Amino acid sequence: MITHEFDHALFLGDYELGEGWGNRSIMSHERDRTKIYTPQTHDINEVHSYMNR
């Protein structure tokens, strides 16, 4: 949970239920919290994209 909250400080937003992100993002409310507890490739790419604006 702390990683999810920290990622908000890195300008990542939440992906709500039904948006289809599942386990592909730490920011997804659909993720399996027993397995996904670090930023995923999509999250890292989103931060890089934001920082390179």
Count: domains in the chain: 1
The tokens describing 28, both together, are: 């997804």
Residue ranges making up the domain that contains 10 = 2-51
| Number of neighbours of residue 17 by Cβ within 10 angstroms | 9
pLDDT of res. 53 = 85
pLDDT of res. 11 = 87
pLDDT of res. 1 = 74
Burial of 40 (0-12, 13-18, 19+ CB in 10 A): middle
Per residue, the 3-state secondary structure of the chain, as one string, reads: CHHHHHHHHCCCCCECCCCCCHHHCCCECCCCCCCCCCCCHHHHHHHHHHHCC
Using an 8 Å Cβ cutoff, are 15 and 26 in contact? no
pLDDT of res. 43 = 95
pLDDT of res. 44 = 95
pLDDT in tens, the chain (53 residues): 789 898 899 989 999 999 989 999 999 999 999 999 999 999 999 999 999 98
